[in-house]
Structure 1
Amino acid sequence: MSLRQTLTHLPRDTRDTLFLLFVIAWVIAPHASHLPGWASAVAAGLLGWRAWLAWHNRPLPGRWTLLVLLVGAVAGTLWTHGTILGRDAGVTLIVMLLAFKTLEVRARRDAMVVFFLGFFTMLSNFFFSQSLGVAAAMLVALLGLLTALVNAHMPVGRPPLTQAMRTAGTMALLGAPIMAALFLFFPRLAPLWGVPSDAMTGRSGLSGSMQVGTIAQLALDDKVALRVRFGPPGTEVPPRTALYFRGPVLGDFDGIEWRPLTYREDFRRGDAALAMAQLQVQGPALRYEVTLEPHQRPWLLVLDAAASRPEGPGLQPLMTPDLQWLSQRAITDVTRYSAESHLEFRHGPQAMTASLRAYTELPPGFNPRTLALAQSLRNDRSLVPDPSRDASPALVNAALERLRTGGYRYTLEPGVYGRDTADEFWFDRKEGFCEHIASSFVILMRALDIPARIVTGYQGGELNSVDGYWTVRQSDAHAWAEVWLPGQGWVRVDPTSAVSPGRIGEALRLQAPRGALGTAMDTMLSPGTLAQMRAVWEAANNRWNQWVLNYTQGRQLDLMRSLGFESPGWEDLIRVLGALVLAAALLGVGWNLWERAQHDPWMRLLARVHQRLARSGLAVPPHLPPRATAAQVRAHFGPAGEPLAQWLLALEQTRYAPHPTQGLPALRRSLRSLAWPVRSGT
């Protein structure tokens, strides 16, 4: 007998169990890449064991066995993650619980628990990836779980799974308009809406490295990063645009990620004399006090540039060669220190040195169009009239002018960039937030053979009028550039200010990691075919990123404006959503009334009589025809039931009349005036 014939002749309980196990395996499978190895193996073993028990019709294991397995799973989670809280540990536990629950499905209630654990586990896949591939896989999982749920509510006989699947598909289609309305109009209130993150990971300050999008993630966080009080009283506070708090300086680029250059061994031993010697300050000193929130890093945030070390209890800070001040220990508690900065300064060598060449290096094979742009700028005689003379200032100004006049736009909702981020920014999207702009600008400068690097930190802040402190939040995280110019040293250039001097907008960080589909296809097809398929897939995934994952509050409000709202807010969204819900409710009521009208009125009248008979103590089967019902009425009520029996016979006669519906109004009226029989002796 073939496998298909074997499956066809399986008992219904076995068939339904195997189908449910297959759906659960499909739900759990995407978690395999981020679950601990033991958890994936245990889940697969438990599902396989349950399938073997169903196939051979063996009894389920006892509760003590399950208790031992559960204790082992919790212990394994604690051993692996150090906690049972948080995203990673929580997902590990929910997968284990789902697999364990399949081993004790003895009643319908147990099956319901499995279904809803499956729905929750399905949603948890989006904690790690919201890519198009994961979304498509979870749509299949949703239909599978709905099919199993519908099938469980069909206890009689052996209905085919295709029938339950059609019902589940119909349910999903009917619910799709409601889901679309909620997606479009449910208010997105950051940071509640966005890419899920691990609650146990915490949200520290700046990162020691930068991929495009990192700072936007911090901009989602409105927590305080530091507070600054300028003094003594009466000190003139510089404008907000001049407040650049210096953090990590990133000079090493591998095409994907920016990292700090590796410092020399003598600096790691505490020798910061080189950095101090290359810093020349000008103008009056600006004194201030910083209260730094813990960020688990050794960075001390100071205004550009502090020639003297910050002073604070227990601090022994050192300056790196790129002017960043570091503490000897990570900042794990609120730390207060005083500092002195000069907003006018020079630093770095005045002439080209071998060490500066590290700031002109670019990885091969990335951003070819940006390299071509640099070559065209070098060949422009209006910018470089004499190739023998250094034209770095003119080339820097040309790049800034391109940002000002080239249609570039500052936004914190640019979507997910691809591999060649600079090419996409300069030629395709022409929009981004500070780190997109700074990274693309520095790559162009290096392509022009001009030393350049990225500086990350915080820019701006807000004055608290109550206590006089300036509050700098994580939402003020920023990235700018520094270029080296002969005779000037390192010069700050903030390309974001060329695009948008106001630097306004709302932040949203999106990330779309490569899905499992793309990884699997790498080993299956030739490079040419794979490249073409990958291009199509990335285009589709980009559309998904832009129109679904990147449907942000800004785009939601743009939709409201297109619907005629001049200054939409969350109140307008609530009103529109309420109107849609009301319209859906009215539509449902209308559909219900129409559907009831389509039912056989003759059958509804007979059913009404059956209901009244049941209340009078005579329960008859709902399928019993009028003549048989009349016989039971006579037997139960005696002579008192004769008028009702005659009415039932008239109802039967009407059914077979040439025009059955014509006699029904008269029968309804006579039924209302009919004296309802009472059984003799009661």
Structure 2
Amino acid sequence: MLGRLQTLPREARDTLFLLAVIAWLILPQLGQLPWWCIGLTAAVLAWRGVLAVRGDPLPGNGWVLALLAATIGATLLSHRTLLGRDAGVTLIVVLLALKTLELRARRDAFVVFFLGFFTMLTNFFFSQSLPTAGAMLVGLLGLLTALVNAHMPVGRPPLLQAARTAGWMALLGAPMMAVLFMLFPRLAPLWGIPGDGMTGRTGLSATMQVGTVAQLALEESVAMRVRFEGPLPAPSEMYFRGPVLSSFDGRVWRPLVPRIGAYAAGLLPPVRLEGLGPAVRYAVMLEPNNRPWLLVLDAATERPSGAGLEAISGGELQWVASRPVTDLVRYSAESHVAYRAAADARPFSVPIQYRELPPSFNPRTLQLASQLIAQVPGGAANKPALVDAALQRLRTGGYVYTLDPGVYGEHTADEFWFDRKQGFCEHIASAFVVLMRGMDIPARVVTGYQGGELNSIDGWWTVRQSDAHAWAEVWLAGLGWVRVDPTAYVAPSRTGSLQRLLPPQGVFAAALGTVSPGLLGSLREGWEAVNNRWNQWVLNYTQSKQLDLLRNLGFKSPNWQDLTFLLIAIVVAVALGGAAWARWERSRQDPWLRLLARVRQRLAREGVVVPPAGGPRQLAQAVTNRFGHEAQALADWLLRLEAQRYARRPPTELPALQRELNRLPWPAAR
């Protein structure tokens, strides 16, 4: 196959290389593009490759216009619009592929190059991860190689030569790109473009239907990273609070306040929170999830703070951002793992919604509630004893914590307490809260994450999707809202030693299991540490960090205007320095000698060797001896170069000779 490629004409070889680069640029977006877009793009690129190999003529404009019309129609059907991120990316990908059917001149190739650069940038609309950046760096070098190769119209220069030139260009431009990255004013999040129907990646939502969170345990992607300052809380106390679900219709749990803006409107009264013991301080790197919740260690006494972050109290010990989190967010928080919330409230002042249950649902659970009230000393007035009785039933009743509890029916709590006796944390928490409300105890479901994994390399805790959890809170007189995790009574290892249920292993996973667990753990920690550094120093490089950099440079009260002026000053200084260096370089060597050396080096690659002291006339004689009349044009040019140097009245100016050399047909090309 490699030999076949080497024998192809240069145009076919260059076209196939460009098609491969385009396919590489589109590859990371396969999960985001409609199926028809992937199929059409692959078909067009394959068609263009076959035409290049066979040397067949390109299709007429009618084909291209028909495919373009079909693309527009399919985009409208898929996205209901031609505007926006998703529709725009779909169009640009297909247009890039269609443009390859018009590669008739260098001008068309340049259009393809520029469309390729733009397509490369669109990958960052969906992911700014380190693997995506690495893949796009390879794509950038590929595009630069094709661009350099297009500027070498004579002969058949090897792609490796163009790749070396492109690599040097990238290396020379890297310092300037680093300066632009550090100093270009960040007036808004660079990639903070709203998703068109983008679904959240955390798995947590504003509603919870039994069975949804169970699927989340299979996900190993990172939800957030946490770094503690000072003493660490016990792993069993690491509850990161997310949405609080208090309204139940028999099938779905929902929050009392469904809209973000309603929190600021004060529709939920603030909860008096009293911290017990020392506070825990920590920093959070929250991954993009298109959700508003700011996950904090339960419970945060102060507003989380971060660059450009506006946190709003949710009224149920939760915090939300003023807008969905669409890019990486870093914030600091302070929490008390031991606390009292609303302890001074009176029973009648607790909202009735925390005790309500829909009629005609879970009758056997309500009957169980009546039985427990009758069995506990003090009856309905002894709320703590009723809670303990329910937990004792979970501990000794043969209940099982599993990833695969099956599909629940209409009466979910009844099925859990009496029929299945198995479930994931959402089944257990939901059934427990229903039982509490059946005994007239205010209760609610809290979802979030529990636990995490310490990375010994960088000291950050990694909280994954598999750490998603649901627990309960009950309100008790004199104590206020008390966290109760019923899952801990069914499977103590889930919250104590942070053991997670694992799905059945496939063949590939089983093969990996034969590798040393210590080696796999070290590799995973190393990769997570690198990713964390990427998130902190690249994705989370905000305007506040830019201003801190200026303060370190001596600016007293820096602002974005100072950033702009400093950036302009550096760009001007670099430009002047480059001009001065080029002028100095020219002064070090005679332009005539440089031109002669350029010809000598080119001929040396073709096997023509001339002594270092040989002049143009000797070069002309050597070329004529080697290639005969095929090199007559080059020999004549060398004689004119000699005359330009030594004749009393040179017949040709040196710049004209330089331009003529670029157009000369070299013998090897014939």
User: TM-score under structure 2 normalisation?
Assistant: 0.51
> Is the CA contact (8 Å cut-off) linking 1:147 and 1:168 kept in structure 2?
yes
Aligned with 1:197 (options 181, 186, 194): 194
Q: What is the match of residue 567 of structure 1?
A: 557
Give the Cα–Cα distance (whole angstroms) in 2 for the partners of residues 14 and 646 of structure 1.
Answer: 41
Q: CA deviation at 1:73?
A: 1.3
Q: What is the match of residue 141 of structure 2?
A: 143
What does the per-residue CA deviation read over 1:63-110, in whole Å, with 9 as the maximum and x for residues that have no partner?
111111111111111111111111111111111101111111111111
The secondary structure found in structure 2 opposite 1:177 is helix
Residue 578 (structure 2) pairs with residue 588 (structure 1): yes
What does the per-residue CA deviation read over 1:216-247, in whole Å, with 9 as the maximum and x for residues that have no partner?
xxxxxxxxxxxxxxxxxxxxxxxxxxxxxxxx
1:306-455 equivalences in 2 (<5 Å): 346-347=349-350, 351-352=383-384, 353=386, 452=473
The secondary structure found in structure 2 opposite 1:33 is coil
Residue type of the alignment partner of 2:206 = G
Residue 24 (structure 2) pairs with residue 26 (structure 1): yes
Q: CA deviation at 1:148?
A: 0.3
Give the Cα–Cα distance (whole angstroms) in 1 for the partners of residues 345 and 40 of structure 2.
Answer: 63
What does the per-residue CA deviation read over 1:241-295, in whole Å, with 9 as the maximum and x for residues that have no partner?
xxxxxxxxxxxx9999756367143999x9x9xx9xxxxxxxxxxxxxxxx9x96
Q: What is the match of residue 116 of structure 2?
A: 118
> Is the CA contact (8 Å cut-off) linking 2:113 and 2:147 kept in structure 1?
yes
CA RMSD of aligned residues (A): 5.4
Q: What is the match of residue 57 of structure 1?
A: 55
Aligned with 1:552 (options 542, 546, 568): 542
> Is the CA contact (8 Å cut-off) linking 1:209 and 1:257 kept in structure 2?
no
Q: What is the match of residue 268 of structure 2?
A: 304
Give the Cα–Cα distance (whole angstroms) in 2 for the partners of residues 5 and 578 of structure 1.
Answer: 50
The secondary structure found in structure 2 opposite 1:265 is coil
Q: CA deviation at 1:565?
A: 2.1
Q: CA deviation at 1:169?
A: 0.7
Report the CA distance shift for 1:171/1:46 in structure 2 as closer, same or farther (over 3 A): same
Report the CA distance shift for 1:305/1:60 in structure 2 as closer, same or farther (over 3 A): same
Q: CA deviation at 1:4?
A: 1.9
Q: CA deviation at 1:561?
A: 1.8
Residue type of the alignment partner of 2:569 = A
Give the Cα–Cα distance (whole angstroms) in 2 for the partners of residues 546 and 29 of structure 1.
Answer: 26
1:234-249 equivalences in 2 (<5 Å): none
Q: CA deviation at 1:545?
A: 0.8
The secondary structure found in structure 2 opposite 1:551 is coil
Give the Cα–Cα distance (whole angstroms) in 2 for the partners of residues 646 and 69 of structure 1.
Answer: 56
Aligned with 1:157 (options 155, 158, 164): 155
Q: What is the match of residue 88 of structure 2?
A: 90
Report the CA distance shift for 1:419/1:527 in structure 2 as closer, same or farther (over 3 A): farther
Q: What is the match of residue 174 of structure 1?
A: 172
Give the Cα–Cα distance (whole angstroms) in 2 for the partners of residues 202 and 266 of structure 1.
Answer: 22
Q: What is the match of residue 245 of structure 2?
A: 260
Give the Cα–Cα distance (whole angstroms) in 2 for the partners of residues 91 and 121 of structure 1.
Answer: 8
Larger radius of gyration: 1
> Is the CA contact (8 Å cut-off) linking 2:239 and 2:449 kept in structure 1?
no
Report the CA distance shift for 1:254/1:45 in structure 2 as closer, same or farther (over 3 A): farther
The secondary structure found in structure 2 opposite 1:97 is helix
> Is the CA contact (8 Å cut-off) linking 1:21 and 1:51 kept in structure 2?
yes
Give the Cα–Cα distance (whole angstroms) in 2 for the partners of residues 261 and 112 of structure 1.
Answer: 59
Give the Cα–Cα distance (whole angstroms) in 1 for the partners of residues 65 and 652 of structure 2.
Answer: 64
Q: CA deviation at 1:193?
A: 2.9
The secondary structure found in structure 2 opposite 1:172 is helix
> Is the CA contact (8 Å cut-off) linking 1:630 and 1:644 kept in structure 2?
no
Give the Cα–Cα distance (whole angstroms) in 2 for the partners of residues 601 and 52 of structure 1.
Answer: 46
Q: CA deviation at 1:424?
A: 6.4
Residue type of the alignment partner of 2:559 = G
Q: What is the match of residue 236 of structure 1?
A: none
Aligned with 1:490 (options 477, 481, 487): 481
Give the Cα–Cα distance (whole angstroms) in 1 for the partners of residues 181 and 556 of structure 2.
Answer: 21
Give the Cα–Cα distance (whole angstroms) in 1 for the partners of residues 163 and 251 of structure 2.
Answer: 69
Give the Cα–Cα distance (whole angstroms) in 1 for the partners of residues 242 and 402 of structure 2.
Answer: 15
> Is the CA contact (8 Å cut-off) linking 1:86 and 1:200 kept in structure 2?
no
Q: What is the match of residue 567 of structure 2?
A: 577
Residue type of the alignment partner of 2:540 = N
Report the CA distance shift for 1:520/1:181 in structure 2 as closer, same or farther (over 3 A): farther
Report the CA distance shift for 1:102/1:605 in structure 2 as closer, same or farther (over 3 A): closer
Give the Cα–Cα distance (whole angstroms) in 1 for the partners of residues 240 and 135 of structure 2.
Answer: 31
What does the per-residue CA deviation read over 1:28-58, in whole Å, with 9 as the maximum and x for residues that have no partner?
0001011111211211111111111111111
Aligned with 1:539 (options 525, 529, 553): 529
Aligned with 2:66 (options 60, 68, 73): 68
Give the Cα–Cα distance (whole angstroms) in 1 for the partners of residues 4 and 14 of structure 2.
Answer: 14
> Is the CA contact (8 Å cut-off) linking 1:305 and 1:323 kept in structure 2?
no
Residue 175 (structure 2) pairs with residue 184 (structure 1): no
> Is the CA contact (8 Å cut-off) linking 1:77 and 1:89 kept in structure 2?
yes
Give the Cα–Cα distance (whole angstroms) in 2 for the partners of residues 72 and 586 of structure 1.
Answer: 51
Give the Cα–Cα distance (whole angstroms) in 2 for the partners of residues 267 and 139 of structure 1.
Answer: 46
The secondary structure found in structure 2 opposite 1:26 is helix
> Is the CA contact (8 Å cut-off) linking 1:87 and 1:199 kept in structure 2?
yes
> Is the CA contact (8 Å cut-off) linking 1:87 and 1:200 kept in structure 2?
no
> Is the CA contact (8 Å cut-off) linking 1:151 and 1:161 kept in structure 2?
yes
User: TM-score under structure 1 normalisation?
Assistant: 0.50
Runs of 5+ consecutive residues of structure 2 not aligned to the other structure: 209-215, 225-237, 271-314, 319-343, 356-380, 404-447, 484-505, 597-634, 654-670
The secondary structure found in structure 2 opposite 1:490 is strand
Give the Cα–Cα distance (whole angstroms) in 2 for the partners of residues 526 and 213 of structure 1.
Answer: 21
Give the Cα–Cα distance (whole angstroms) in 1 for the partners of residues 576 and 645 of structure 2.
Answer: 41
Give the Cα–Cα distance (whole angstroms) in 2 for the partners of residues 520 and 130 of structure 1.
Answer: 31
Give the Cα–Cα distance (whole angstroms) in 1 for the partners of residues 452 and 521 of structure 2.
Answer: 21
Residue type of the alignment partner of 1:6 = R
Q: CA deviation at 1:546?
A: 1.2
Report the CA distance shift for 1:597/1:323 in structure 2 as closer, same or farther (over 3 A): closer
Residue type of the alignment partner of 1:263 = F
Q: CA deviation at 1:304?
A: 3.3
The secondary structure found in structure 1 opposite 2:248 is coil
Residue type of the alignment partner of 1:60 = L
Report the CA distance shift for 1:158/1:579 in structure 2 as closer, same or farther (over 3 A): same
> Is the CA contact (8 Å cut-off) linking 1:18 and 1:54 kept in structure 2?
yes
Give the Cα–Cα distance (whole angstroms) in 2 for the partners of residues 576 and 356 of structure 1.
Answer: 68
Q: CA deviation at 1:574?
A: 1.8
Q: CA deviation at 1:16?
A: 0.2
Give the Cα–Cα distance (whole angstroms) in 2 for the partners of residues 137 and 520 of structure 1.
Answer: 28
Q: How many residues align?
A: 411
The secondary structure found in structure 2 opposite 1:644 is coil
Residue type of the alignment partner of 1:18 = L
What does the per-residue CA deviation read over 1:93-139, in whole Å, with 9 as the maximum and x for residues that have no partner?
11110111111111111111111110000000000000000000000
Give the Cα–Cα distance (whole angstroms) in 1 for the partners of residues 389 and 588 of structure 2.
Answer: 83
What does the per-residue CA deviation read over 1:146-195, in whole Å, with 9 as the maximum and x for residues that have no partner?
00011011100000101111111111111111100011111111x34344
Give the Cα–Cα distance (whole angstroms) in 2 for the partners of residues 520 and 562 of structure 1.
Answer: 54
Q: CA deviation at 1:299?
A: 9.0
Runs of 5+ consecutive residues of structure 1 not aligned to the other structure: 216-252, 276-291, 307-320, 325-342, 367-417, 453-482, 493-518, 607-619, 634-642, 649-682
Residue type of the alignment partner of 1:84 = L
